[in-house]
Amino acid sequence: MTSLALDYFADHLPRKPYHTDDFLYGLRINNTDVAKLARYIQHNSPHAAFWFVFDVDRIGAAIDWTGVCAQFSEKFHDVKII
């Protein structure tokens, strides 16, 4: 069984993302089939922010949104994108 969210994520990766298994050895650029097997991968294109990634290291963080800053949407509600 595959996850729809992971499939969606994989379908929207950059065409040739940076990736690595260990930053000590630097980054590589490859096609998505190779890059998505790496431990670390560039999830946004250089010109756009499609994903916001949060690394929350606590039990239940994937389903618990109580710690999310509620003011974020209120603070930026007047921002207009042209």
DSSP notation for 44-64 = S-TT----------STTTTT-
- pLDDT tens, position by position, 4-35: 878 888 888 999 999 999 999 999 999 999 99
Residue 35 is predicted with a pLDDT of: 94
Could you give the strand order of the β-sheet that contains 40-41, starting from the edge strand earlier in sequence? 28-29, 18-20, 40-41
pLDDT at 69 exceeding the cut of 70: no
pLDDT of residue 51: 82
Question: Which residue's structure tokens are 């999310």?
Answer: 68
pTM above 0.85, yes or no: no
Segment 38-51 mean pLDDT: 88
